[in-house]
Amino acid sequence: MNTIDDLERYSDNILDIVSANVKKYREEKGLTQMQLALEIGLTGGAYLGRAEIRKNNHHFNIKHIVKIAKVLDIDVCKFFEVI
């Protein structure tokens, strides 16, 4: 049986993996944080920047991940792969 702490660590690890992959694929496509943020409907790059480095526990939600995958033209599953 998993404890709450185990589940928190597990989910935080997944969020870290997703954030690292968003950054990796964004950079591979040659987009800045601002460019990607605007493409997915955000008004600036600050949120995206915080989510990429997980500052103050910021993270991407499912809608962000789906939109980013579409803009970057990659399968959404790629964000969950360990790099």
pLDDT in tens, 61-73: 999 999 999 999 9
Cα–Cα–Cα angle for 60, 16, 50, rounded to 5 degrees: 50
Q: How far is residue 22 CA from its own chain's centroid?
A: 5
- Binned at pLDDT 50, 70 and 90, residue 1 comes out as confident
CA distances from 7 to 4, 35, 44, 65, 79 (A): 5, 34, 32, 21, 20
Class of domain 4-80: mainly alpha
> What's the residue count for the chain?
83
pTM: 0.93
